[in-house]
Chains A and B, each alone.
Chain A
């Protein structure tokens, strides 16, 4: 426990290591291989986060590309005060939350309540956001009951609570990394994650009782 706390403090203070500094220099020098490495290294985790936040694979894919473009456009301003990963996820979350806001505005009147019975809409679709004929991620993953339950529970959370659950419990970010990514203090991270878990637990309680040891 002490080790974890010490690690977090060290992580916050250290910023960018020498290897990462070199990598950033290569990115700033617009080196092809460095950008290939960047995409290969981060695309999966950014897509995962985007998918959990947006709940739609196509939208997540689109936002991932936009995030990499933003990383490229802003890499000149990267000062190395935080780790590259934290900086990239800060950009990612800014873009994802913007997308989420505009998406909510766009489909304000087409939103389907998550409390509805999945089979109640006649065709068995349980799409959480859009009244659209396209298959939603939930349809694709219908057989995976566990994942669907989590995704639906996540979708019920506010974007602040969802962000913090995705970063901490799904992606395994440390408190200090979350604080950097979301631009909040570690104290706020602690209290927000406790509230978010409380809310999420209510949605997953039935499922957790099965899991209880």
Chain B
């Protein structure tokens, strides 16, 4: 019985010695643990092993004390005196920057908001312009022939009526026996917006003095219904042709 007890005791002693050897740290490993130890960044087991080591190793104990002492020294370091105007200057600078940036940010926000709208809007405007272009083009086509009879600076639109005449003066030419010209007479006449002749040019006709005088008299008395554009009377040109008809 006593032999058994002594065996058990021996086994336990050996196991204890083995455990102690396993848990013991060398100085290098202990020093590696010192920095995390003073920051409480080691496990409970590491703490215990370090404590066991430094309790037996005086150089490591002093080393650990110096780490703790240094940590304490650094923690007690006085804060430098703050410059008086630091807060004020910082706030002023920040304020300037924020105001400056406000405009930039506003511009950015607007561009972000407008960007999705810009393409459809541009497409819409283009389409509208195209539509009106075609529409006006069609209306203008109708007035192309009339445009040639009108003064250049006058606008050309589809809502145009040409100059007309029902002037009886014109009829006298046909019934006057004294005018026995064989040659047809063609006159380009410029009619004002009041219906009166402003100017004329004989394109073809009898080259007599008498004929010219008659034309001048006839046109000075003649009255036309002026051409209109959008309901307003405008200047225009009319070609008058006279052909002698004999009974």
Which of B34, B65, B90, B97 neighbours the largest number of chain A CB atoms within 10 Å of its CB? B90
**Given contact pairs A72-B98, A200-B70, A175 touches B87 in the complex (Cβ within 8 A):** no
Nearest-neighbor residue (CB-CB) of A40 within chain B: B87
Q: Mark A113-147, 1 if CB is under 8 A from B, else 0.
A: 00000000000000000000000010001001011
Tell me the residues in window 34-85 of chain A with beta carbons closer than 8 Å to chain B beta carbons: 35-36, 39-40, 43-44, 47-48, 51, 57-58, 60-61, 64-65, 68-69, 72-73
| 4 A-B pairs with least C-beta separation | A194-B35, A169-B74, A4-B40, A211-B69
Name A201's contact: one of B66, B72, B94, B98 (CB within 8 Å).
Answer: B66
Could you list 12 examples of A-B contacts with CB < 8 Å? A1-B43, A43-B86, A48-B80, A57-B80, A61-B83, A72-B97, A190-B36, A204-B73, A208-B66, A208-B69, A211-B73, A213-B65
B68: chain A residues at CB < 8 Å are 213
Does A18 belong to the interface (CB within 8 Å)?
no
Name A190's contact: one of B35, B74, B94 (CB within 8 Å).
Answer: B35
**Which residues of B does A touch, CB under 8 Å?**
32, 34-36, 39-44, 47, 62, 65-75, 77-80, 82-83, 86-87, 89-91, 93-94, 97-98, 101-102
Contact residues on A (Cβ < 8 Å of other chain), bracket: 35 or more
- Interface of A, secondary structure class, is helix
Name B73's contact: one of A144, A150, A172, A194 (CB within 8 Å).
Answer: A150
Q: Smallest distance from the beta carbon of B134 to chain A beta carbons, Å?
A: 49
A207: chain B residues at CB < 8 Å are 73
A51 to B82, CA, bound (A): 10
B65 touches A212 (CB 8 A): yes
B93: chain A residues at CB < 8 Å are 65, 68-69
A35 touches B82 (CB 8 A): no
A147 touches B44 (CB 8 A): no
B74 touches A43 (CB 8 A): no
A193: chain B residues at CB < 8 Å are 35, 39
Does A5 belong to the interface (CB within 8 Å)?
yes
B47 touches A1 (CB 8 A): yes
A150 touches B69 (CB 8 A): no
